[in-house]
């Protein structure tokens, strides 16, 4: 497939020509946040016959979905910690497809033990270009442990949006006052707001080649005529398409969108704003929400509820307090009850929001409890306090 590069804007966004150029490439990268894919040849993606109901895909992970980047206003510890918590919210929204996932009570509670979920955290200096002026910023990059995130999602009662996601053909026409024009893969103008939002939601859209037949279909795009455009989408062996038009609407800009899959309309929405960047980015969220609602599945982390565990190496009062404090920070632990106490060992009943299969990977990254290789009497899971 061809690659279209996301370049920074080189003229003010309030210029009609700048906005026309800003809306030319697709939503998300093939290899990095700076690239977006074009549709390429017709055999690049298999299609389902129109009208065939789509089966729920099996849960699969994309490690990149568990990474997030945020801009810091300062580098003090409180700012970095707050940004890390926000980064977790961004990852959870991307992995679940649920735009409200970050405000779930269980997800919010995880902020108290956010450090245990982080695999890597780096700060770098970066720059952007706004209206032709360079803007420098400090960026925090965070990588989260996928097992911990998935366990948290299951405990929160949220569904998992598999990384095997459709890549709709993006049929986008723009009218800056000089007539509607098709956005194609031959153009390398920027839609950075669209690409950035696509990255945040884990969506990738493909651009058409822009041949004569596609150029002639601009009126169908402007009419949001999905059946007419599906004929052209089928040539790319693709069952999904996003049709959109962007135009001036005083005092700003507006966009209308329709998303279809397998010949069925999944969502239709409109958006307007004085900021053309927001209008451009509006093609992402409602489409992502609709696809996730259709494809998201529940994760199998075992049977949740009360679980007996044996904890060894609890030798002092300080050990006991450290253990209890740690367990209380875990968002998947709803209640802790001491069942039995013996020298150096405790038997606890943990009321878990996930099964033991989901709990074990979460504590493995915390550095406090280490699971024993063999279960104890009666199959009770055993841990050692570090």
Residues 51 and 173 in one domain: yes
Residues 247 and 180 in one domain: yes
Q: Within a domain: residue 33? A: yes
Peptide bond into 351 cis (omega under 30): no
Site of tokens 């509670």: 109
Domains contained in the chain, number: 3
Whether 238 contacts 169, CB under 8 Å? yes
pLDDT at 204: 87
**Domain span holding position 189:** 3-60+162-295
Residues 45 and 82 in one domain: no
Residues 48 and 183 in one domain: yes
Q: Within a domain: residue 104? A: yes
Name every residue whose Cβ is closer than 8 Å to that of residue 103 and which is 6 or more positions away in sequence: 89
Selection from 367, 365, 366, 358 nearest residue 381 by Cα: 358
pLDDT tens per residue across span 125-167 = 998 777 788 889 999 999 999 999 999 999 999 999 999 999 9
Pairing of strands 67-72, 369-371: unpaired
pLDDT at 28: 38
pLDDT at 55: 64
Residues 190 and 226 in one domain: yes
- How far does CA 196 lie from the centroid of its chain? 11
pLDDT at 54: 56
Q: Within a domain: residue 105? A: yes
Structural domain ending residue among the three candidates 295, 322, 343: 295
Distance (Å, whole) CA 135 – CA 126: 9
**Regions in the chain scoring below 50 on pLDDT:** 1-36, 41-48, 190
Q: Within a domain: residue 300? A: no
pLDDT at 49: 54
Angle between helices 192-201 and 276-295 (to 10 degrees): 20
Residues 53 and 81 in one domain: no
Residues 285 and 312 in one domain: no
pLDDT at 40: 54
Residues 49 and 129 in one domain: no
């Amino acid at each position: 497939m061809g690659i279209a590069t996301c370049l920074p804007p080189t003229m003010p966004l309030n210029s009609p020509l700048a906005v026309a150029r800003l809306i030319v490439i697709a939503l998300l990268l093939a290899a990095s946040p700076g690239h977006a894919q074009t549709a390429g040849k017709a055999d690049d993606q298999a299609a389902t016959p129109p009208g065939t109901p789509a089966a729920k895909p099996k849960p699969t992970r994309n490690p990149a979905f568990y990474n997030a980047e945020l801009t810091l206003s300062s580098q003090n510890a409180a700012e970095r910690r707050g940004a890390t918590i926000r980064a977790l919210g961004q990852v959870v929204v991307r992995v679940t497809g649920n735009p409200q996932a970050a405000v779930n009570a269980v997800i919010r509670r995880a902020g108290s033990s956010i450090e245990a979920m982080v695999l890597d955290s780096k700060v770098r200096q970066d720059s952007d270009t706004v209206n032709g002026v360079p803007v420098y910023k400090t960026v925090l990059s965070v990588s989260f442990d996928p097992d911990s995130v998935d366990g948290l999602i299951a405990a929160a009662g949220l569904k998992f949006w598999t990384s095997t996601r459709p890549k709709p053909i993006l049929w986008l026409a723009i009218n800056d006052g000089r007539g509607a024009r098709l956005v194609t893969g031959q153009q390398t103008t920027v839609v950075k707001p669209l690409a950035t939002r696509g990255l945040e939601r884990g969506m990738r859209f493909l651009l058409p080649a822009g041949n004569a037949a596609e150029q002639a279909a601009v009126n169908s795009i402007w009419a949001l005529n999905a059946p007419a455009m599906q004929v052209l989408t089928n040539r790319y062996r693709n069952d999904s398409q996003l049709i959109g038009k962007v135009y001036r609407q005083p005092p700003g800009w507006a966009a209308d969108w329709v998303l279809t899959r397998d010949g069925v309309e999944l969502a239709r929405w409109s958006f307007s704003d004085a900021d053309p960047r927001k209008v451009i980015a509006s093609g992402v969220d409602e489409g992502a929400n609709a696809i996730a609602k259709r494809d998201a599945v529940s994760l199998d982390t075992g049977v949740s509820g009360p679980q007996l565990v044996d904890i060894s190496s609890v030798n002092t009062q300080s050990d006991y307090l450290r253990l209890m404090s740690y367990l209380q920070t875990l968002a998947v632990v709803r209640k802790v009850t001491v069942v039995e106490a013996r020298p150096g060992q405790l038997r606890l009943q943990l009321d878990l929001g996930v099964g033991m299969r989901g709990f074990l990977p979460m504590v493995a990254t915390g550095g406090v409890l280490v699971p024993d290789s063999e279960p104890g009497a009666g199959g009770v899971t055993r841990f050692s306090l570090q």
